[in-house]
Amino acid sequence: MSGSLLVDNVGELVTNVAGTGDGSPLGLRRDAAVLIEEGRVAWVGPARYAPAAGRRIDAEGGAVLPGFVDSHAHLVFAGDRATEFAARMAGQPYTGGGIRTTVGATRAASDGTLRATVRRLVGEAMRQGTTTIEIKSGYGLTVADEARSLRIAAEVTGETTFLGAHVVPAEYAGRPDDYVGLVCGPMLAAAAPYARWVDVFCERGAFDADHTRAILTVGQAAGLGVRLHANQLGPGPGVRLGVELGAASVDHCTHLSDADVEALAGSQTVATLLPGAEFSTRSPYPDARRLLDAGVTVALATDCNPGSSYTSSMPFCVALAVREMRMTPAEAVWAATAGGARALRRDDVGVLRPGARADLMILDAPSHLHLAYRPGVPLIRQVLHNGVPQCRS
């Protein structure tokens, strides 16, 4: 008991456990409290029945939610592309070509520089409620640089993704087969020890269906789970290929055919939507309602990266999802927590029930609705990660 911690005076508790009869996917509870022991949720129930605890956190009537699960982020990079962003806002289209700018800066950077950026961004995300974050490589694109990117990412998260197939680097221009051979051979071998997942940017101008299939298949054979970037800039084979290969998630999903939606609806593959990318590239948003109405599981993530979506803010993505993609606030909050957990095939995060990791946030607001109702406002008052209170933001 002495090590236990009780969170009470909760305005609204989002559990993401169905069955509270609130009609939303959030499993809302009123007058609830959460007991934490040894970094895990030990008990959830009515405050008046709360067990005794060694310490107490008073939520002061604020809503308490599972921490955000950001299942798509590119944090291992150097440099920024603020001027490219400004030029794009003045009318230049986004083609993904700027990725090579970041590749050059990343290769030239020291381990210490890359590590500092990763840690700064993970800390920034944590202050905004993100307690689980996936981090991809993909700005190294050499055997050594992909391996070190993942090694640095693995210092801060277990959700590391090998994205050697982000773009074909300049030195392989016109020789994509050769580059795919490198990715499938020595690069995968060097990266796999640090990676949980393998990912490919399957898109015109990046990797086609044959290359994507080849890379994901050898990644799977090496023990990695599959996820991919699909159907972002135009229609394509990515989503159906992901479903066929049993991907945990296909990400972006901006340009979908009826067959794509049908394939997703009949699968265990999550559609991860990344509205920060559409915001920062001034592109049309994915049709979340179509996916939800078809029964597809939807996740929200930031796509945090220095080119197309340099936000680390899951609350911002929730607000965009409601404004621009016609998700309800409850659907958006679920997608940013439990949905992200599904996209990472995790059942210990994104949910507040006994046994789950004690990752949660306390809002400076009485309800989850405020994450959409109060866009841009830093509403995360406190974050607990593995049961440990982080610095108040």
Q: Which spans of this chain sit near a second copy (rule: CB under 8 A)?
A: 80, 82-83, 85-86, 89-90, 124, 127-128, 276, 279-280, 282, 310-313, 315-317, 319, 322-323, 326, 328-329, 366-367, 369-370, 372-378, 393
- Min separation Cβ 335 and a second copy, Å: 15
- Min separation Cβ 279 and a second copy, Å: 6
On whether 305 is known to bind a ligand per the annotation, the reply is yes
- Min separation Cβ 86 and a second copy, Å: 6
Which of residues 56 and 326 has its CB atom nearest to a second copy in the complex? 326
Rounded to 5°, angle at Cα 40 from 24 and 118: 90
On whether 252 is known to bind a ligand per the annotation, the reply is no
On whether 303 is known to bind a ligand per the annotation, the reply is yes
Which of residues 172 and 279 has its CB atom nearest to a second copy in the complex? 279
Which of residues 207 and 310 has its CB atom nearest to a second copy in the complex? 310
On whether 179 is known to bind a ligand per the annotation, the reply is no
Which of residues 191 and 322 has its CB atom nearest to a second copy in the complex? 322
- Min separation Cβ 343 and a second copy, Å: 20
Which of residues 125 and 261 has its CB atom nearest to a second copy in the complex? 125
On whether 74 is known to bind a ligand per the annotation, the reply is yes
On whether 390 is known to bind a ligand per the annotation, the reply is no
Which of residues 246 and 378 has its CB atom nearest to a second copy in the complex? 378
- Min separation Cβ 387 and a second copy, Å: 24
Dihedrals φ, ψ of 127, to 5°? Answer: -65, -20
Known binding positions for N-formimidoyl-L-glutamate: 139, 305, 307
Known binding positions: 72, 74, 81, 139, 166, 229, 232, 303, 305, 307-308
Known binding positions for Zn(2+): 72, 74, 229, 303
